[in-house]
Amino acid sequence: MHTGMTSVGNMGYLYEIATTAPAFLKSAHYDAHPPARSAQPAIIPFGPNRQQYCVLWEPDEVLHDMPVLYFHGGGYVFGEAESMEDAANVYNAQGYRFCSIGFREAPFHKFPAMVDDAFRGAMAALDWMEGHGIPCERVVVGGTSAGGHLAVLLCYARWLQEAFDFPAGRVTACISVAGVADVADLLIKPFPTYAAWRTQVDLATYGKGRDAMRRAVARYSPVDIVRKEAGEGAVPNVPLFVVHGRKDTLSPYASQLRLVEALRKANGKDSVELLTLEGRRWQHMNTTVTMHKNAVEESAILKALFAWLEKQDD
């Protein structure tokens, strides 16, 4: 049994590697058909580090007074705010303001520096928009891969919301694309490797080894947070839209399913819309890199997402 599971996992990693380059090389529809956007994107710094800034893209025709605050992926080791421009083009084309929030990354900055920046960056973006007359009483929070993890923390981790005095009542909806639902997944997968992650997590008060790492990150694990808050009757009732490949090798579908089930148990069946992508082609990188490279009208995934967002805007 173990040998078979290992074989399946290895095949998944090989397929992941094989599909990564084509995913990045795929041309984006909105590069050739950009949304009407006269103004240059606004840069919103919120700290001294070069990664502590937000980028706000605003379409000429704003159809929704719900700005989208979004976090990029990259396993907390690479990526930047500008890397979400494909997503910005998609949301702008549908009339949404789109703000990509950058954050410090490992190995130069140890976890949970990324979580701190997620909250500080989101609050800086809201303050900037308010100061420039942009309505932001209701916002959508989303993210891809590791960014999906940050988005879920902003929406459901009440202890973090209170610690940062985050205006959680403004959050109207949450979006997670192949998001990390159980932080332990990051510690056991070969990308990033455990050897790398043991240098990226602050273990000063936890000891050594995998068990110490699990203890260090458990407070930031969405599944654990939602289950704990459900026991206290305190899970924020924020609708969630999830896009996840069943064969995702890097961010296990089973972990995402546990989060979905925990939220549905706490907030009701209709509180989560789960869009499961079937087939081996929907590996992690293909899903996260190519999803926003398509025209909304030609993508079943994007059409479903924006139909769901319209319901949250009613």
Give the pLDDT confidence score for residue 184 in this predicted structure.
74
Q: Which residue from 245, 252, 292, 279 is spatially nearest to 88, judged by alpha carbons?
A: 292
Handedness of CA 295, 22, 277, 70 (dihedral sign): negative
Categorize the per-residue pLDDT at 76 as very low, low, confident or very high, splitting at 50, 70 and 90.
confident
Length of the chain (residues): 314
Give the pLDDT confidence score for residue 183 in this predicted structure.
78
Categorize the per-residue pLDDT at 198 as very low, low, confident or very high, splitting at 50, 70 and 90.
low
Tens digits of residue pLDDT in 105-144: 988 888 889 999 999 999 999 999 999 999 999 999 999 9
Tens digits of residue pLDDT in 224-279: 999 999 988 899 999 999 999 999 988 999 999 999 999 999 999 999 999 999 99
C-alpha–C-alpha distance, residues 202 and 43, integer Å:
30
Q: What residue spans define the domains of the chain?
A: 2-312
C-alpha–C-alpha distance, residues 129 and 314, integer Å:
22
Give the other-Cβ count within 10 Å of 198's Cβ. Answer: 15
Q: pTM of this prediction?
A: 0.91
The percent of the chain in helix, strand and coil, each rounded to the nearest 5, is: 50, 15, 35
Phi, psi of 27 (to 5 degrees): -75, 150
> Residues 6 or more apart from 284 whose CB is under 8 A from it?
16, 145, 178, 245, 248, 249, 250, 251
More confident site: 125 or 193: 125
Give the other-Cβ count within 10 Å of 189's Cβ. Answer: 20
> Residues 6 or more apart from 151 whose CB is under 8 A from it?
70, 71, 141, 142, 143, 174, 175, 176, 179
Locus of tokens 């397929």: 15
C-alpha–C-alpha distance, residues 231 and 22, integer Å:
44
Give the pLDDT confidence score for residue 101 in this predicted structure.
98
| CA distances, 190 to each of 10, 206, 244, 258 (Å) | 10, 23, 20, 22
Q: Does residue 310 sit in helix, strand or coil?
A: helix
**DSSP code string of 177-219:** ES--S-THHHHHSSSS-HHHHTTTB--TTT-SHHHHHHHHHGG
DSSP state of 111: B
The side-by-side arrangement of strands in the sheet containing 42-45 is: 42-45, 53-57, 98-101, 68-71, 139-144, 171-177, 240-245, 272-277
Q: Does domain 2-312 have CATH number 1.10.600.10?
A: no
pLDDT at 7 over 60: no
Give the pLDDT confidence score for residue 306 in this predicted structure.
98
Burial class from Cβ neighbours inside 10 Å (0-12, 13-18, 19+) for residue 162 reads exposed
Categorize the per-residue pLDDT at 191 as very low, low, confident or very high, splitting at 50, 70 and 90.
very low
Q: How far is it between the farthest Cα atoms of the chain? A: 60
Categorize the per-residue pLDDT at 12 as very low, low, confident or very high, splitting at 50, 70 and 90.
low
Give the pLDDT confidence score for residue 104 in this predicted structure.
95
Give the pLDDT confidence score for residue 204 in this predicted structure.
55
